[in-house]
Chains A and B, each alone.
Chain A
Amino acid sequence: MTYEIVVLTNMAISILFALSLNVITGFCGQVSLGHAAFLGLGAYTSAMLSKAGVPLVVTFIPAMGMAALVGLVVGVASLRVRHDFLAITTMGVVFLFTGIVRKQDILGGEIGIAGIPAPEFGRIGLLITSLICVFAYLWFVMRIRKSWAGFAFDSIAEDEDTARLLGIHVPRFKLFAFLVGTAGAGLAGALYAHQVRFIGPDSFGFVESISVLAMVIIGGIGSIWGVILAAALLSALPQFFQIIDDFKLLVYGLLLFGAMRFAPDGIDGVLRGVFRRAGDKR
């Protein structure tokens, strides 16, 4: 039973993490190759506080705040760059993050932080908390999607210059996406730190950034349900099949390549196509 709870909790955290990147990359069209840095910011903030005796749920707020604050700084810096250059800038963020953390003794340096207190409400409690966080975040991103903010994001993701011509204040919307996306990653980080109870710089590097981007692309960039499905599958598979875990990067890479080559709209696009064809036959 414990094992299933761990798998489900990991799944919930992955979904939250992928949904948070989907706000930046999917809604707003800003490809980020450094999203794991914000997961790390949340994880370290929450871990340090909780080791100092702060209850887990209370650490959520500073964890989100810290990630969002740095997210805002990265967002402001990113306003001047687009497309490939943006991707490279965000890639720099993750190297900067791991580089700095490695040199800080107070953050455990290379070794990381061990002995993060177990959540006071136990494993099932952590699963339930994670699920509540996922649903709360999901509610918020669906609210964005359905409101005029979603309408504006659709235009920005497609063509920034045209969006400007329609009077949309593009920089403000981009920063908003960075804020919401990085805060979500910070929250996922806080949960993650208490799930594994040991964190180190390697948990939040470039590989993790690419893994979460793979979830978003495989699910279908911008599609909430596609991303949830992809994050659930990709986080659960390695835990059930040892061979996938051994070759995780290879599997992710192949899936990423396959999605970009054969199904650029991801699972979402494939499912839509299937339903459309089924509808046509009827």
Chain B
Amino acid sequence: MTAARLSIKDISVRFGGLMALESVGLELGDNQLLGFIGPNGAGKTTLMRVITGIVRPVSGQVMLDGRNISALSSVERIHAGVALGQQIVKPLREMSLLDNVALAFGREKLLSPLRALSAWSRDAEREAAKTILSDVGLGKVMHKLPNEVPLGYLKRLEVARALALRPRLLLLDEPLAGLSKPEAAEMADLIAGLPRPGLSVILIEHNLPQVVRVCPTLYVQSNGRGLAFGSTDEVMAMPAVRKAYLGREG
């Protein structure tokens, strides 16, 4: 039996007197797209930060492909295969979209300054970056600076840059936020096409209609606890989920 792509066991996080996460567990296989939803304050961002290594849990462990990555720093986790697309886009504004992605693609060269100092050519990374940018629909604007393109494009850039890290697990934090309805639908379609053998995606999103439309499985969290996990249809039919979302079971 192969190990799960991501396996989270018994994670608890405490911020002062507040229990932000309590014994949360989650398992995700390969080539999956998981929708991660929950009301505001459910601890979605906290769990995501536990996976990326920014927040240290008081208990529990995070396993990637059977390897315990709990002790790794956030940078080490990126090199282990965990990439994050942030909700608030943060492009490097002084370089082109192409170089933003090419830089991420060259991550092996960026682990130590001495290795970086002996690496010159950016051609291979730029070629790879061109392919990734074309795949996310930014092929025509790749030479522009981030300030010259609209937010919708920067959201795609965020995804492209995370993909360029060649992750095995991609976390996308509200990639649809701030987009118009048609843009959001397009972005959701793009995300639906990302998982493949070797890459699973977790989509953290408030846009419920789009999540339900593209994600085959859902994980719901509420008040720092796992509420439901399973196929989207089953989860959305659960009274507890409806209650957490709508405030009533009907």
A interface vs B, CB < 8 Å? 143-144, 146-149, 151-152, 154-155, 158-159, 161-162, 164-170, 172-173, 176
Contacts and interface: CB of A to CB of B under 8 A. Distances in A.
Contacts of B79: 167
B165 A149 contact: no
A149 B78 CA distance: 19
Contacts of B111: 167, 169, 172
A148 B92 contact: no
Tell me which of A154, A167, A170 has the highest count of chain B C-beta atoms within 10 A of its own C-beta. A167
A169 B117 contact: no
B113 interface: yes
B120 interface: yes
A165 B117 contact: no
A166 B120 contact: no
Contact of A159 (B90, B110, B118, B122): B90
Contacts of B113: 149, 152, 172-173, 176
Interface stretch (B11-19, B62-70, B100-108, B228-236): B100-108
Interface of B: 74-75, 78-79, 84, 86, 90-95, 99, 103-104, 106-107, 109-120, 122, 161, 165
B116 A167 contact: no
B84 A148 contact: no
A158 B92 CA distance: 7
A143 B74 CA distance: 29
A92 B165 CA distance: 39
Given A158-B94, A170-B75, 8 more contacts: A147-B116, A147-B120, A148-B110, A151-B106, A164-B75, A165-B86, A167-B78, A173-B116
A154 B92 contact: yes
A116 to B, nearest CB: 35
Contacts of A167: 75, 78-79, 104, 107, 110-111, 165
Contacts of A154: 92, 94-95
Given A166-B110, A166-B161, A169-B110, A159 B92 contact: yes
Contacts of B95: 154-155
A220 to B, nearest CB: 13
Ranked nearest first, the 6 interchain pairs of A and B with the lowest CB-CB distance are: A176-B113, A167-B107, A149-B116, A148-B116, A167-B78, A148-B119
A166 B117 contact: no
Nearest to A157: B94
Contact of B104 (A144, A166, A172): A166
A148 B106 contact: yes
B116 A151 contact: yes
A170 B112 CA distance: 9
Given A147-B116, A147-B117, A147-B119, A166 B93 contact: no
A213 B128 CA distance: 39
A167 B83 CA distance: 9
Contacts of A168: 75, 107, 110
B84 A165 contact: yes
A159 B109 CA distance: 19
Contacts of B104: 166-167
Contacts of B94: 154, 158
Contacts of B86: 165
A149 B84 CA distance: 23
B116 A165 contact: no
B149 to A, nearest CB: 17
